[in-house]
Amino acid sequence: MISTCERPFDAIQCGLTSQFHIPFDAAACQCTTARPSVRTKTLAQSEKILTAAARLFAAHHFHETRMEDIAELAEVGKGTLYRYFKDKEELYMALLARAACQMKERLSAVDEAPDPRSKLEAVVGAILDYFAEHPHLLDLIQHAEVMQGPDADLPWQRLRRENFRLVEAIFEEARRSGAFQVMDPQLSAQLLLFSLRPVIRWGQKPRPADMARRIVEHFLYGAARPACGCR
């Protein structure tokens, strides 16, 4: 089930509560601000607008998408649209917040994997799958990073930091269990997760079903193998 937030950018509160498990709490993804009057705003209407915006951003670049086009696709008046989102910037921030909440839900299943390597594959697979289903998202993230600056506390950046900690915790579990040992867990977590961006952007389409397994194998054991007889 996909979670929704009435004003997603206002409150993304789900967090890590164990070594590598991100529990998904639907209530935590609801807004902490007071619910507006049903006469003026509703959660269903907000979702309708966000869904329409996501469809348009998937088909057009951010700067090509107009608020009036979003209103038309959502079948709402422009006045209604601006009552929910004051401008396109606020709208795309809400989309990023909703995406962060949905991605957190996907990653909550990582703990079900039986061993550290399987957990890494589950993390990589969840990220690749979500971006494949939402091809507009990477452009929105990059636009937000450029416009808001590297120090802005955006919802996707908060999720990214949590994902780093998630992968580092998996590395620690692997060390304790003897499955494998990563010498620099913090740097390695960054290298693994940031290496997914070119795969998402330019990787083979459609993506092979075993891509997550191959990425983790390359990451843990290297892309090259010594030729027979070589030292």
pLDDT digits over 110-148, tens only?
999 999 999 999 999 999 999 999 888 888 888 888 877
Determine the Cα–Cα distance for residues 198 and 68; give it in Å rounded to an integer.
Answer: 33
Domain-located, residue 86: yes
What is the full per-residue pLDDT of the chain (231 aa) written as tens digits?
444 443 444 433 444 334 444 444 544 454 444 444 445 789 899 999 999 998 898 788 778 899 999 999 999 999 999 999 999 989 988 999 999 999 999 999 999 999 999 999 999 999 999 999 988 888 888 888 887 776 777 888 899 999 999 999 999 999 999 999 999 999 999 999 999 999 999 999 999 999 999 999 999 998 877 676 554
Question: Is 40 in contact with 14 (CB distance < 8 Å)?
Answer: no
Determine the Cα–Cα distance for residues 82 and 79; give it in Å rounded to an integer.
Answer: 5
Domain-located, residue 121: yes
DSSP state at residue 220: H
Q: Which two tokens stand for residue 19?
A: 């070594």
DSSP state at residue 120: H
Domain-located, residue 196: yes
The CATH number covering residue 206 comes to 1.10.357.10
Distances (CA, A) of 71 to 46, 56, 58, 139: 11, 11, 16, 21
Q: Which helix (H) or strand (E) holds 39?
A: none
Determine the Cα–Cα distance for residues 226 and 231; give it in Å rounded to an integer.
Answer: 7
Q: Using one digit for the tens of pLDDT, what is the confidence trace for 64-76?
A: 899 999 999 999 9
* 83-109 core/surface letters (b: 16 or more CB in 10 A; e: else): ebbeebeebbbbbbbbbbbbbbbbbbe
Residue 155 is part of which domain span?
Answer: 8-221
pLDDT at 150: 65
Provide CB contacts within 8 A for 137, sequence distance 6+. 95, 96, 99, 130, 131
Our measurement of the distance from residue 14's CA atom to the centroid of its chain's CA atoms, rounded to an integer in Å, reads: 13
User: Based on the structure, what is the number of domains in the chain?
Assistant: 1
Q: Which two tokens stand for residue 27?
A: 């209530």
